[in-house]
Structure 1
């Protein structure tokens, strides 16, 4: 089956939904694809801390972004976000979606402070800000726009171009641009062609490539891999930010994030010997940039020969803790820890991808008619390290700007004929889920052990050997196998993981969240 839209959006987090809102409000026909059954299953929904509201503190926000990135961020991108985002936030999240940010008794917005911020400027909703934004944005689109179609349980396979997927040789000589995507319907096991004038990648980051991470399992690099295969430029992939504090416990690879806000509200880091240790690593102690805190925790774990360190906020009033951090409190309690009385066991975990598909400040990639917004994209805003709570802000802001840019030119574009694009030919071999699971584990462990918090020439060489073997096996397997979502994701993850490795090899300068021993 084939579908046609003015704009195809792949991903349903804040970036994709913000773009969809801007396009739908102007009457465009929008298709939104997600591999999940529930479109609220995104990285956005796991964002606990909040979203920056920079009104009145724009210039200091620019400086905080630059400082957190060790001076590597694009100042132009930082200024755009700092000066333009507040009006977008007010219009979309407060007035239209009615996101429920915390307010005082008189109805004034409340603000919190996080690491590396020079002042409190972060709007929040308890410790589930992302979830509230996700749900309210979805409701806004569903309740108001019949011109928006959601494709749930649909996995994007590849971006369509005439160069790669045309039925005739002559099509190779056409202007190279993205025409839509092949999409795998998980329920019917068929591949559909979705044609569109413009395509927006909003697929999130690559945290799920790591053994321990705070992301949804869908953050496996699908958008990065599709963009690369289509010919787009990827950049800054060595800059993977690890969150210093994820809950140590449970059997899944997805670690529960213990928000930066816990430290922002006075939480102390204590090692297994009962010693508060951050003073010897950075003058800002617990509020140092995330990369510093994450490596400090890793060092303490090694030095004390323990499994974790501890986050202590027991000096705060128990009722305040329960009200301020209800989700974290509940999760800890479910795993046998009462954070109002006990220290929380924590370890670092892969958290945010600072690099991605290279775009300009309108979200346009190096391929015509392909945009990328949110964590999948690299605008230069984060440089080598992301300032806390800029992730939701970036997704919302560049989703908005991508929509504006598309609206300027959409009437000049036409939808490509599906008859001129090859039909997908599926494999014939049944998939062995045990092999896929084992390959996923090999990938995750390789990334964690060799391409993780600390990298070195020897570790990267070991990873290279693993990737060569994985790539050869999976490419042969993928060619003949019947499609399933996990295999599509594995193929993409191996491809993107290798790109992270290559970027890490090229960069020998330790900066921001990237640290090389040799």
Structure 2
């Protein structure tokens, strides 16, 4: 058994920010971070655009950023949360700089601010087109300097430890005591006991297969919290990024940043028609839900596999400077951005819902906190405004740190049993897991994708029930593996998405059901 003061599950910007702050302030307390991949593998690493933050007070304002966020969220944001996050933004951003993160500046020496879909002003700070990678680098460097902070890569969290597994004092509220964790290298299962557990395990993109997320984005934190009876909300609001490099094979896809459209790129159909002008007066800079739904409608109308992003009219020298990674990726596929259009399609990108938390990141389970994409804070409402995700992660990691700094959890004597897998067998039928995963991903794309319907959602629910029964039987009979646990988690997540989609009777933001008559897609604004 490992005993730690704070267990952090996930090594993206949310988890690492909390760990740095806690490790710096309390050198006598221990922070243990676990992550199932390499230490830097997270959605943060692949965030191209940047951090939305109000720095230019002459042209921009907190109120403008708040208003843009509320508009994107389509009436479902928690306004108090939006105000808090936006107002805290500059302070949290400055901490990143203190920790050594670098951001692009212009010739005047000021931050080079970008503009993305849904934003009324230039306010996105960035490091070329690898902002998340740069933030991750700086945070990891700081983590490795802290003696009381331990980072364990290739450790997969199987389940949270709550009352059903322990013998403790009188139960008043479900409480988290840590987690059972699989050491992926040795195959052994550790019991990690923690006074407080912070879930920062990222998104759910792999549930859909075609995604901008890395392969580790399997909704593990949400699934574990769901099984522990935490409140989960707004799972129907899955954001599809409009412009992902078209890939015939599917799987994790390369993101063409929103900032490229902010830079002036046009969306065209194969005949060259700039179709976004037909749907929204903001054209390519409409919010992601509108652009994705518009592209989906165009593809269904034409039968084509993709639309195109046209950058040929742009200053290509400036384009290369701002987007070197995107430029080189296109070049490697024989796409000359100066002459050729980039084939793009929407792909699953970000979950606006998740584990419900208050402004301190507290879940409905005692001593369990959550931040980053795994959480549902109320900031995003029905649709996240571009580059608000890194901002949210920074602010909520700080809020959890602040709360735990000022509120000590009383120690409770508990007897936590070791993991028991007596009687189970090593499952060598990896093809079964692979086939079930493909079946799940196809189901979600076909029946619970960008545009949904009542009949399709009911088909999805029935098909998922059969898949759930098969996988649960396999789980109970087999020694746990990462692949099996991820599949189980994704089925839990799919269940939440489908059921909460069925429950929603009006179209908002990223959710569109053809059988709902309100807030129809692609209205001109």
TM-score, with structure 1 as normaliser: 0.96
Aligned counterpart in structure 2 of residue 456 of structure 1, from 443, 453, 457:
453
What does residue 377 of structure 1 align with? Answer: 375
2:321 equivalent to 1:317: no
Q: Which secondary structure does the structure 2 equivalent of 1:25 belong to? A: helix
What does residue 23 of structure 1 align with? Answer: 22
RMSD: 1.4
Q: Which secondary structure does the structure 1 equivalent of 2:380 belong to? A: coil
Check the 8 A contact 1:195/1:416 in 2, yes or no: no
Check the 8 A contact 1:45/1:131 in 2, yes or no: yes
How far residue 259 of structure 1 moved from its aligned partner, in angstroms, is: 0.3
Aligned counterpart in structure 2 of residue 394 of structure 1, from 392, 395, 401:
392
How far residue 107 of structure 1 moved from its aligned partner, in angstroms, is: 2.6
CA distance in structure 1 between the partners assigned to 2:209 and 2:491 by the alignment: 14
Closer/same/farther in 2, CA of residues 339 and 29 from structure 1, 3 Å limit: same
2:12 equivalent to 1:13: yes
Q: Which secondary structure does the structure 2 equivalent of 1:125 belong to? A: coil
What does residue 421 of structure 1 align with? Answer: 417
Q: Provide, for residues 345-384 of structure 1, a one-character-per-residue CA deviation record: whole Å limited to 9, x for no partner.
A: 0000000000000000110001110001010000100000
CA distance in structure 2 between the partners assigned to 1:424 and 1:288 by the alignment: 52
Q: Which secondary structure does the structure 1 equivalent of 2:407 belong to? A: helix
CA distance in structure 1 between the partners assigned to 2:112 and 2:32 by the alignment: 36
2:80 equivalent to 1:76: yes
Q: Which secondary structure does the structure 2 equivalent of 1:431 belong to? A: coil
CA distance in structure 2 between the partners assigned to 1:128 and 1:290 by the alignment: 20
Of stretches 265-274 and 331-340 in structure 1, the one that deviates more from structure 2 is 331-340
How far residue 171 of structure 1 moved from its aligned partner, in angstroms, is: 5.8
TM-score, with structure 2 as normaliser: 0.94
How far residue 252 of structure 1 moved from its aligned partner, in angstroms, is: 4.7
CA distance in structure 1 between the partners assigned to 2:115 and 2:198 by the alignment: 32
Q: Provide, for residues 228-276 of structure 1, a one-character-per-residue CA deviation record: whole Å limited to 9, x for no partner.
A: 1112100000000000000002635111110000000100000011111
CA distance in structure 2 between the partners assigned to 1:281 and 1:461 by the alignment: 30
CA distance in structure 1 between the partners assigned to 2:85 and 2:50 by the alignment: 16
What does residue 139 of structure 2 align with? Answer: 137
CA distance in structure 1 between the partners assigned to 2:126 and 2:71 by the alignment: 23
Give structure 1 regions of 4+ aligned residues with deviation exceeding 4 angstroms: none
Aligned counterpart in structure 2 of residue 442 of structure 1, from 434, 439, 442:
439
How far residue 415 of structure 1 moved from its aligned partner, in angstroms, is: 6.7
Q: Provide, for residues 152-200 of structure 1, a one-character-per-residue CA deviation record: whole Å limited to 9, x for no partner.
A: 1110011111x2102x5x7674653100000011111111000110000
The number of residues matched between the two structures is: 508
How far residue 423 of structure 1 moved from its aligned partner, in angstroms, is: 3.1
What does residue 88 of structure 1 align with? Answer: 92
How far residue 106 of structure 1 moved from its aligned partner, in angstroms, is: 4.1
What does residue 152 of structure 1 align with? Answer: 153
Closer/same/farther in 2, CA of residues 158 and 302 from structure 1, 3 Å limit: same
Aligned counterpart in structure 1 of residue 105 of structure 2, from 59, 84, 103:
103
CA distance in structure 1 between the partners assigned to 2:247 and 2:488 by the alignment: 29
Of stretches 283-292 and 22-31 in structure 1, the one that deviates more from structure 2 is 22-31
CA distance in structure 1 between the partners assigned to 2:312 and 2:399 by the alignment: 43
Which residues in structure 2 correspond to 1:39-78 (within 5 Å)? Answer: 39-55=39-55, 56=57, 57-78=61-82
Check the 8 A contact 1:241/1:352 in 2, yes or no: yes
CA distance in structure 2 between the partners assigned to 1:321 and 1:420 by the alignment: 56
